[in-house]
């Protein structure tokens, strides 16, 4: 089984200036996973991107990875 938190963490830590302030909490209910991503205030713009393009791309990648294990994932950015 793929650890979705680790995958998201690796993606986010590679694009932010403060990778040590990346926090991911995981809530699992059956085959549905909620990942809540918290980053430093100055890194929020990098994670969201212009018009939300980076956030949308991360969510697409995470949904694809989750589908391998027949799970559903939701990524929430705070």
Domain boundaries, the chain: 4-77
What HEC string does 8-37 produce?
HHHHHHCCCCCHHHCEEEEEEECCEEEEEE
Q: What's the topology of domain 4-77?
A: GMP Synthetase; Chain A, domain 3 (3.30.300)
Q: pLDDT digit string (tens) for 45-61?
A: 999 999 999 999 999 99
With H, G, I as helix, E, B as strand and everything else as coil, classify residue 63: helix
Q: pLDDT digit string (tens) for 13-40?
A: 999 999 999 999 999 999 999 999 999 9
**pTM of this prediction?**
0.94
The residue with tokens 């949904």 is 63
| 1 has a pLDDT exceeding 90 | no
Range 24-30 contact pairs with CB under 8 angstroms and sequence separation of 24 or more: none
**pLDDT score, position 4:** 96
Q: DSSP code of 69?
A: T
């Amino acid at each position: 089984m793929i650890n979705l938190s680790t995958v998201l963490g690796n993606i986010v830590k590679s694009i932010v200036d403060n990778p040590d302030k990346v926090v991911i909490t995981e809530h699992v209910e059956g085959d549905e996973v909620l990942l809540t991503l918290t980053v430093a205030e100055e890194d929020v713009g990098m994670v969201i991107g212009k018009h939300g393009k980076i956030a949308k791309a991360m969510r697409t990648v995470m949904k694809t990875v989750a589908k391998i294990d027949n799970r559903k994932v939701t990524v929430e950015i705070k």
